[in-house]
Copies of this chain bind each other. A is one copy, B any other.
Amino acid sequence: MSAPGRIWGVGVGPGDPELLTLKAHRIITTADTIAYPAPNEGDSLARSIVAEFLPGGQEEIVIRISMDPKMFPPEDVYAKAAEQIGAHAAAGKSVAILCEGDPFFFGSFMYLFEKLSDRWDMEIVPGVSSMMASAAALQIPLAARNDVISVIPATLDEDAIAARLATADTAVFIKVGRHLAKVRKVLEAAGLVQHAHYIERATMTAERKMPLAHMRDTNAPYFSMVLVHRRGSAL
């Protein structure tokens, strides 16, 4: 019987394949098995980011996850995936679990981690997060000196968002999607719209960015962010 294989949670960065780390590249190209999330129908974004590097011949575990927020997190899906990954590791195979951006920054990987880390010795490989990628693409320094950065899910209600915004120098709104109008409203009430910037799909081919004041769409894609610095700039 072979020794149990290793399991990694590997951040693959925000979208540009070149933003993979050397370590992620090494692990993904040499692991026996890769595992990755995918929507119920369609391709996996995480896999597409690393596709050009895959050597071929690896086993693949596709974790199909419903994008319906009412179904999230789908316990049975993660339980089944953890079982599959554990079976590969038990058979002596090394498994790289691909995670968009960074594994521990709002990633669904943590549900797998929860189920696997008790039984298996796992290693997490941090990745470039969409927050840093968005700031770089917008050419907006996130924070300097004593600035407080708050990362605020736009899924929160208006009052909760306003309270978090009030104690932040830099606010990074994530999961903007269909909550764009709400974010705009809170920023208007705080007099901060003129300092806010919108970006979607940072570092991907379809990247789109503009001052929030120029953004006329009512909704945004899931992979979108709004960045704002209270003083207009960290500098």
Contacts and interface: CB of A to CB of B under 8 A. Distances in A.
A156 interface: yes
Count the copies.
2
A146 B141 contact: no
Contact of A144 (B106, B150, B152, B156): B106
Given A26-B18, A136-B125, A167-B167, A156 B151 contact: no
State which size class the interface on A falls in: 35 or more
Nearest to A142: B104
A140 interface: yes
A9 to B, nearest CB: 8
Contact of A105 (B126, B132, B164): B132
Interface string A112-156: 011001000010111111001101110111111111111111011
A164 B142 contact: no
A163 interface: yes
6 contacts: A16-B23, A19-B126, A110-B235, A111-B235, A126-B136, A145-B153
Interface of A: 11, 13-14, 16-23, 25-26, 102-107, 110-111, 113-114, 117, 122, 124-129, 132-133, 135-137, 139-153, 155-156, 163-164, 166-168, 203, 234-235
| A-B residue pairs, 10 tightest by C-beta | A124-B136, A18-B23, A110-B141, A126-B132, A126-B136, A149-B151, A102-B132, A104-B135, A104-B141, A126-B133
